[in-house]
Structure 1
Amino acid sequence: MTIVADAARTALMGDVAPVFRSVRVAAVAAVAVLLAGCATNGRSGGTADGPGGDTTGAALGSTATTAAPRSDATTRPLDGPPGAVPRRGEVKEIQATGSLPPVISSIPTNRKVVFLTIDDGWEQDPGFLAQVRDQRIPITAFAMRDAVEAKGTPDPAGGPGRFVGAGKWGYFRSLRDARVPVENHPLTHPNLRLLGYDAQRQEICGASITLRRQLGTRPTLFRPPFGNYNTDTLRAVKNCGLKSVLLWTATVQPGGKIAYQVPDKRLRPGDILLLHFRPNLARDFRILVDKIKRRGFELGNLQAYLDAATPRR
């Protein structure tokens, strides 16, 4: 309004050309400011956002102005859970054995797809969280209360930890927000075969209650410590509202090495891999994911495959 008023006043005085020149300069400057604002506010996050991404948040350009703010990675909406999902007719059905929950070690598929799971919760490495979130890597966590809350002695494998209990349940809320399903691992990690039914039920139901209170989610999968279970375990799992017991076909050791439980020592379609929240998790996880992709395997969405393999349960 000031520019227009000044222009009118000057025009009445007969100095028309300088007026239009000043108005034109002001308009060009205003447009430049608007375009700069659009370039900043309309930019999407600057991290790899696909299942095959190999970066962990590197800038997209050579200057600071070309990279999105770091906060974009945590605030941008995610377009559904990550990972490969089954094709029509791809997955064979896992047959139920009576009324008790099924015990599943692998997914019945011929597709070159494997599934990543991680147990306990001692080492709460922010670098691991960033990889899972920014590269949208599908993984399922089985949280143990005592590990998450850093009660007791951490798993000694991998050496001393740097992030033991660093975020506690806040760390797992961040994993949940990154579309990581957080499932049931007993409260104190006992050998369930040494416990009676009532004690097992207390461990398993107590873990579900804790997860619901801390994360607002209701678990559907159960992982027994050491892979040890018996009929009482399956009864307790069912009575605590869980649908399946999930085991594994290979474990991941420090350095990202895969320890196979099959004679030919190789990945197979439908394998379920077990990791732990151990020291150097971010480094080891990067090595593992690269290794799996080099061998031509996809990373699958475990829940989607379980839904296909265990319909109407």
Structure 2
Amino acid sequence: MKVTVGSAALALAAAALLSGCSGDTGPAAGRGAPAQAKGPQARQAAEQARLAAAARRWGLDRAPLTPPPPPARKPEITPRDGFEVDGQEEEDLPPVFTTVPTKQKIVFLTIDDGAEKDPDFLRMMSELKVPYTAFLSNYLIEEDYGYFRRMQALGVTLDNHTLTHPYLPGLTYEEQKDEICGMQAVMKRQFGKAPTVFRPPYGNYNGDTLRAAKACGIKYAPLWDEEVFVDHWEYRDWDRSLHPGDIVLTHFRGRDDWDGTMVDDMRRFLNKVTREGYAVARLEDYL
């Protein structure tokens, strides 16, 4: 019987299939051996190359430094000298501090309020793997909770900065409690969790602020030691320098308020801390 070319091809394909089921585990012709898994050093080199490329893409002088692993034992957080209130220790009130006790060359980036919602900022920080903590006020984020949900999905911790950003010492205890506990309720409803970290607006507080914060489930009230703007830095301490464990503040701001964008602001921040040998660590890993 005459076999057509098409039938011959089918027969060869069937034979090859049967051969493949016969236990022969050698590589298929023309495909080569399976790719070998990269070892730790190769993976690290590939990640460093990726970070270097990302740094160039975002206009940085060099890639940010990688922070050390989180401490196995978290440091004890106490109020900064002079930042205590009456009853601080007796009532176990949340400590107000500007630096986390550590000897490692790390700083912590915190960003306040939520006014600017820049998608480029989210991409930049994600690509560079720079951790930060956001302190949010409801009146500035309620128009776009989704932006901050995307931020949260990238691993960013979202914390309490009151409902309306008032000058808290000018309010009664109950009014302060409404501001702080009200924002706790918003955070839980919108982001799934009420935070334990709170920053008073403008860095202003009194004893009632910390009592209200404690009543709302707050354990820590960090301020900052330095503040970075798109065109300059400001310092709390006389030496005008970064120190191990310093908390750095900036804001969600753009061209409407600054002569630049959040990307420009982060470029200034990252270039300085990296140049001075500091890595950016995740604040929550130390609390």
Tell me the TM-score normalised to structure 2 length. 0.73
Whether the 8 Å CA contact 2:105–2:244 is kept in 1: the answer is: yes
Which of 94, 110, 115 is equivalent to 2:78? 94
Q: Which residue of 2 aligns with 1:223?
A: 199
- Specify the alignment match of 2:280 in structure 1: 299
RMSD: 3.4
Q: Check whether the contact 2:197–2:221 (CA below 8 A) recurs between aligned residues.
A: yes
State how far apart, in whole Å, the 1-side matches of 2:271 and 2:194 are: 32
Overall identity of the aligned pairs, in %: 40
Change (3 A) 1:49 1:140: farther
8 Å contact 1:248–1:274 — kept in the other structure?
Answer: yes
In the TM superposition, 1:164-203 aligns within 5 A as 168-203=144-179
Distance of 1:273 and 1:188 partners within structure 2: 22
Residue 250 (structure 2) aligns with:
275
**Mapped partners of 1:294, 1:287: distance in 2:** 11
Match of 2:233 in 1: 258
Moved more, 237-246 or 93-102: 93-102
Moved more, 131-140 or 112-121: 131-140
* Counterpart in the other structure of 1:68: none
SS, match of residue 202 in structure 1: helix
Which of residues 124, 127, 131 in structure 2 aligns to 1:134? 127
Q: 2:110 aligns with which of 93, 111, 117?
A: 117
Change (3 A) 1:9 1:147: closer
Could you say which residue in structure 2 is the equivalent of 1:204? 180
CA distance in 2, matches of 1:93, 1:223: 15
Q: Give distance in 1, aligned partners of 2:241 and 2:119.
A: 30
Gaps of 5+ in 1: 11-18, 24-29, 40-47, 60-81, 151-167, 307-313
SS of aligned partner of 1:251: strand
Change (3 A) 1:106 1:58: closer
Question: How many corresponding residue pairs?
Answer: 239
Deviation of the 1:221 alpha carbon: 0.2
Q: Deviations over 1:102-144 (max 9, x none)?
A: 1121111122111000000011111110122222111000011
Q: Which runs of structure 2 are paired with 1:26-41 in the superposition (5 Å)?
A: none
Equivalent in the alignment of 2:267: 286
| Aligned-residue offset at 1:271 | 0.6
Question: Which position in structure 1 is the counterpart of 2:217?
Answer: 241
In the aligned structure 2, how far is the partner of 1:178 from the partner of 1:49?
A: 18
Q: Is the 1:56–1:130 contact (alpha carbons within 8 Å) kept by the matching residues of 2?
A: no
Structure 2: 5+ residue stretches without partners: 17-27, 36-45, 58-65, 80-87, 255-260
| TM-score computed with the length of structure 1 as normaliser | 0.67
Question: Whole-Å Cα distance in 1 between the matches of residues 106 and 9 of structure 2?
Answer: 73
Aligned to 1:254, the other structure's residue is in SS state coil
Contact 1:260 1:266 in 2 (8 A): yes
How far apart, CA to CA, are the structure 2 residues paired with 1:189 and 1:133?
A: 28
Mapped to 1, the partners of 2:10 and 2:139 lie a distance apart of: 78
1:190-239 Cα shifts (integer Å, max 9, x gaps): 00000001110111011111111111122110000010001111111011
SS at match of 2:51: coil
Which whole-Å CA distance do the structure 1 matches of 2:128 and 2:164 have between them?
32
User: d(CA) in 1 for partners of 2:163 and 2:186?
Assistant: 9
Letter of the 1:289 counterpart:
L
| Structure-2 separation of matches of 1:9 and 1:226 | 78
Q: Which amino acid aligns with 1:286?
A: R
* Structure 1 residues 282 and 31: CA distance shift in structure 2, 3 A: farther
Ranges of 4+ aligned residues in structure 1 off by more than 6 Å? none
Q: Would you say the 8 A contact 1:145–1:188 is kept in 2?
A: yes
